[in-house]
A and B are shown apart, each in its own frame.
Chain A
Amino acid sequence: MSTTIEQNKGFGATLWDYLTTVDHKKIAVLYLIGGGFFFILGGLEAMAIRIQLIKPANDFVSAGFYNEILTMHGTTMIFLAAMPLIFALMNAVIPLQIGARDVAFPFLNSLGFWLFLFGGILLNASWFLGGAPDAGWTAYAPLSTTSPGHGVDFYVLGLQISGAGTLIAGINFLVTIINMRAPGMTYMRMPLFTWTTFVVSALILFAFPALTVGLFLLMFDRLFGSGFFDASMGGNSVIWEHLFWIFGHPEVYILILPAFGIFSEVLPTFSKKRLFGYTAMVFATVLIGFLGFMVWAHHMFTVGLGPAANSIFAIATMAIAVPTGIKIFNWLFTMWGGSIRINTAMLWALGFIPSFTIGGMTGVMVAAAPADYQYHDSYFIVAHFHYVIVGGVVFGIFAGLHYWWPKMFGKILDETLGKITFWTFFTGFHLTFFIQHFLGLMGMPRRYWTYGADQGLELGNVISTVGAFLMAIGAIVFLYNVIITTIKGDKVSGDPWDGRTLEWSIPNPTPHYNFTQIPLVRGLDPLWIEKTEGRKGMTPAEPIGDIHMPNPSILPFVMSLGLFIAGFGAIYQIDNPIWLVVLIIGMGITFGAMFIRSVKDDHGHHIHKEDLDKGAGL
């Protein structure tokens, strides 16, 4: 990716290159930078929360500002950090893993990224424009519909725009995985990361429309005077809760399943064994995805849905523990009898197993509705979902970054710094969140700005804050690692880990067109099969020929920019109708770009086979 040709380019040319790129590898880098930036932002918000709670009756931040911080922490981490970082890995890896030269819709891939980024920027612009949203990341009505100022409007429009990007990305990966697999790669030969991406893309396709609808209704309530969630106008606030969680629960699996996929790549590679129970793992993935849609009301046990609904959703939720358990045991038995190498990527995978098991245990515990009457909206729940999302998703992202960094950037992240990151972050994580299980049952509700000095909650909160600082140190060391490796790290071969899947058959750096010849896949772990038969690389499935590649385009950037501008118009037209002009200009830019895209013929370009030998496209 960062080749000599590119390094010789000026900053402006590189910038233009990234603004217009439709190359999945460069879009992966963009997602990584965007997601990384918002991860730091969300982390700072988390630190503000923990500092505020370090002692009773603290006044580090004010009550109203605290609600803005907690809302933005949740929203940022879920929509703007975890999802983009996962998309970074998917973009970097999936086409390589299935033996494709790019995704099915490279233009849409770029559009998905820019929509996410502009949506995220719009949401965060609220900090400087009168205050961020303050109704929680769940934005429950009527608090969200009655929240003063424009904060929640930014939430609605920002998420709507970035959500469209996510939906586009999901559809893109779905089509890519269905249509672009190399010859011989049947469904049951796909690597687990590809499988989980496939299932996750389907989840996005079905879950995000619920959010889109919910956000539209909320937008109408706030900006255009409707009353979908207003009881006094015949609306119903519980509808929002349903819509939100019909999206929100599958969202949890949208985040965790790719992490499962990453661990299913890392554990076999560093145990030198094929994944134990591949078929069971695939079916467990599909089953988790399927059941993920039938459990949303377990977020609503205390809403008053009645005992029949609560029982049904309790049992459906417990059922998810079965496929998850299957996965845990198959990972353990992948390592059983193997030859385990422990490096940083593997450490994250090994740290994940006990951490996520705890998150899964508490998951079953909160599924028991009458017990949840106590856990619900208390710090127990905060602890539970951080065990799942940090102990599962964030650990997975770290494992994936360490594992695929040489594929993405041609260098291995420093191992010593990596191990320091792991141990500080891992210790800090358990210190922060384990105690919160107890805080919750000791009577500390979540989203509390402060607590009294006489309530027995001091010690737990101090421990939790200390842990949060350790996590912050771990994250800073990782950032330092990235910088130092980029500056000083040595180039490595295309297959530094003795890999098993197709992406490791590609030389370093990965050519623009990924594969000179599309490989022939002869089974699960195709590269491993070739290695055991004494071959160095993949057997090609086609003769060397001209390679057809898409052209770069600035249009996705322009389309997203138009929506970004329109967003401000939509938000401020309620104060002054003159802003409708801005709305119209913004939409005009977007529709104009769409019109150009529709009428302009762009058939891409060919890299001729004579030029391939000379290094074209590197």
Chain B
Amino acid sequence: MKGWMGKIRTLFLLSLLSLLLSGCGKENLTAFSPKGYGAEVSLNLIIISLLVMIFVFIVVMVIYTIVLIRYRQKKGQEDFVPKQTEGNKALEVIWTVIPIILLIIIAVPTVSATFDLADTTEKNDSLNISVTGNQYWWHFNYGEEEIQTSQDLYIPTGEKVYLNMMSSDVLHSFWVPTLAGKMDTNPENENTMYIEAYEEGVYYGKCAELCGPSHSLMDFKVIAVSPEEFDQWVEDMQNVNPDATPETASAQEGQALFENSCLSCHAIGSSPTAVGPNLTNFGDRSKIAGVVDYSKENLVKWILNPEEFKPGNKMSGNYSVPEPEEAEKIADYLLQLQPSEVTPESATE
């Protein structure tokens, strides 16, 4: 089953490639080249249903073309009155029964895949991460490991990771197209899905449920690393000392400022505070707030006016805006928060 599905998929992708000069989108964002179990199941089903449907489309278009070529009124035929056929029982049965059979071909793998992707039998033996959607950022809580983080979700490759999802405000939807289909985060009940990444890499995630002005700016990343690297990362994160003194004087002042004004919303370390994103490994990230290019200049700008980057975010107007030089110091402090050698870069190497 897997073998010929793979061949069909290659064929399909090749024809698609020639069809679309742009290719199939950006690697690690597109659903066309799955690198995780869920995305693979989905794509297989997409291909099965597409093939069946292309068959139907061809049949329709062949009849359509014949009809338009053969039965157009020709000059001098204006008075011709065709035979007024009422219908044809045999034909009606044929185009009722054949579609039913075609649909069964799609329905069987559909049901089987639906149950497969909802399987939770291995949940208790696997890594469980609580995912919380917020306007407009993602919080990740590794319950058993006692690690809290935001925006970058670190997972080990080659195993099922269970995500237990909820929302803290409005509906969001967790979507990493290359790894798996999406699942909504609801405010009242926990949804569970699993993802399994086949290879190391940085996979792009997006929010797929309209959640406010910055809905399109809620990007996050799933960083799949080898199980060994993951264990290393867990250890590094667990060993973080939130009160550790930074090296430079500027960062030290920044730390003091941060503890005074920012800490009530943004936690460093494993504190469960999650009003705003947890910043424990902020220095390891490759984007600010998920969408802004990572640089000190942009970080300072963000601290001074986040509204410019993410309209409608919950930070704007809810903190005392620091002086520019203070913002620089806070930025220095945040940028040096690099608790682990395991970073997005190490996942792509």
Q: Which residues of A contact B (CB under 8 A)?
A: 62-64, 66-67, 134-136, 140, 142-143, 146, 231-232, 235-238, 271-274, 276-280, 302-304, 306-307, 310-311, 314-315, 318-319, 321-322, 325-326, 328-330, 332-333, 335-342, 350, 353-354, 357-358, 361-362, 364-365, 367-374, 376-378, 438, 441-443, 445-452, 454-460, 532
Contact = CB atoms under 8 A, between A and B. Distances in A.
A328 B109 CA distance: 26
A459 B22 CA distance: 7
Contact of A332 (B67, B83, B92, B189): B67
Given A63-B214, A456-B25, A443 B86 contact: no
A442 B30 contact: yes
Contacts of B183: 302, 304, 373
B210 interface: yes
Residue picked from A142, A336, A338, most chain B C-beta under 10 Å: A338
A312 B247 CA distance: 60
A368 B45 contact: yes
Contact of A357 (B60, B115, B173, B178): B60
Nearest to B34: A374
Contacts, number: 310
Contact of A441 (B31, B57, B61, B72): B31
Contacts of A64: 213, 311-312
Nearest to B116: A370
A608 to B, nearest CB: 41
Contact of B82 (A272, A277, A315, A459): A272
A374 B26 contact: no
22 contacts: A135-B210, A273-B83, A274-B84, A276-B88, A280-B92, A303-B191, A304-B189, A310-B118, A314-B114, A321-B99, A325-B99, A329-B91, A329-B95, A335-B68, A340-B67, A374-B42, A443-B25, A443-B26, A445-B175, A447-B215, A452-B291, A459-B21
A354 B114 contact: no
B88 A333 contact: yes
A63 B213 contact: yes
Contact of A143 (B60, B114, B170, B181): B170
Contacts of B86: 274, 276-278
Contacts of A458: 22
A326 B95 contact: yes
Contacts of B61: 354, 357
B115 A311 contact: yes
B199 interface: no
B206 A373 contact: no
Given A321-B103, A368-B106, A370-B42, A336 B71 contact: yes
Given A237-B186, A318-B106, A335 B67 contact: yes
B18 interface: no
A460 B215 CA distance: 21
B208 interface: yes
A319 B50 CA distance: 17
The 5 closest A-B pairs by CB, nearest first: A373-B181, A442-B25, A304-B191, A456-B26, A231-B188
A445 B206 contact: yes
B29 A455 contact: yes
Interface stretch (B73-81, B141-149, B334-342): B73-81
B interface, size bucket = 35 or more
Nearest to A304: B191
Contact of A442 (B24, B99, B291): B24
Nearest to B22: A459
Nearest to B169: A142
B110 A370 contact: yes
A373 B210 contact: no
B170 to A, nearest CB: 4
A337 B31 contact: no
Given A306-B118, A336-B66, 17 more contacts: A63-B312, A66-B213, A140-B170, A143-B170, A143-B210, A231-B187, A302-B208, A310-B114, A322-B99, A325-B56, A339-B71, A340-B71, A370-B114, A370-B181, A377-B208, A442-B30, A449-B216
Given A136-B210, A442-B32, A373 B95 contact: no
Given A236-B188, A315-B107, A315-B111, A354 B46 contact: no
Contacts of B300: none
B107 A314 contact: yes
A328 B56 CA distance: 11
Interface in B152-184: 169-171, 173, 175, 177-178, 180-184
A532 B73 CA distance: 20
A445 B214 CA distance: 13
B39 interface: yes
Contact of A307 (B118, B206, B215): B118
DSSP majority for the A interface?
helix
B181 to A, nearest CB: 2
A421 B192 CA distance: 50
Nearest to A142: B170
Given A373-B38, A374-B177, A455-B29, A278 B169 contact: no
A50 to B, nearest CB: 15
A377 B182 contact: yes
Contacts of A378: 175, 208
B321 interface: no
A337 B170 CA distance: 57
Contact of B95 (A315, A325, A354): A325
A322 B209 contact: no
Nearest to B84: A274
Given A140-B171, A337-B71, A358-B57, A273 B84 contact: yes
A505 to B, nearest CB: 18
Given A142-B170, A310-B114, A340-B68, A364 B209 contact: no
A372 B318 CA distance: 39
A277 to B, nearest CB: 4
B23 interface: yes
A446 B291 CA distance: 18
Interface in B40-76: 41-43, 45-46, 49-50, 52-54, 56-57, 60-61, 63-64, 66-68, 71-73
B8 interface: no
Interface in B221-263: none
A322 to B, nearest CB: 5
A457 B25 CA distance: 7
A456 B22 contact: yes
B111 A314 contact: yes
A236 B189 CA distance: 9
A301 B69 CA distance: 43
Interface in B85-117: 85-88, 91-92, 95-96, 99-100, 103, 106-107, 109-111, 113-117
Contacts of A451: 216
B181 A271 contact: no
Contact of A280 (B60, B87, B117): B87
Contact of A443 (B31, B96, B181, B209): B31
Given A63-B312, A333-B88, A328 B60 contact: yes
Interface string B121-147: 000000000000000000000000000
Given A272-B82, A460-B22, A373 B60 contact: no
Contacts of B170: 140, 142-143, 146
B51 to A, nearest CB: 11
B82 A271 contact: yes
Residue of B83, B210, B211, B311 contacting most chain A CB atoms (<10 Å): B210
A302 B73 contact: no
B95 to A, nearest CB: 4
A300 B248 CA distance: 52
A237 B171 CA distance: 9
A340 B114 contact: no
Contacts of A368: 45-46, 49, 106, 109-110, 113
B31 A238 contact: no
Given A302-B182, A361-B53, A368-B110, A353 B212 contact: no
A370 B312 contact: no
A307 B208 contact: no
A374 B181 contact: yes
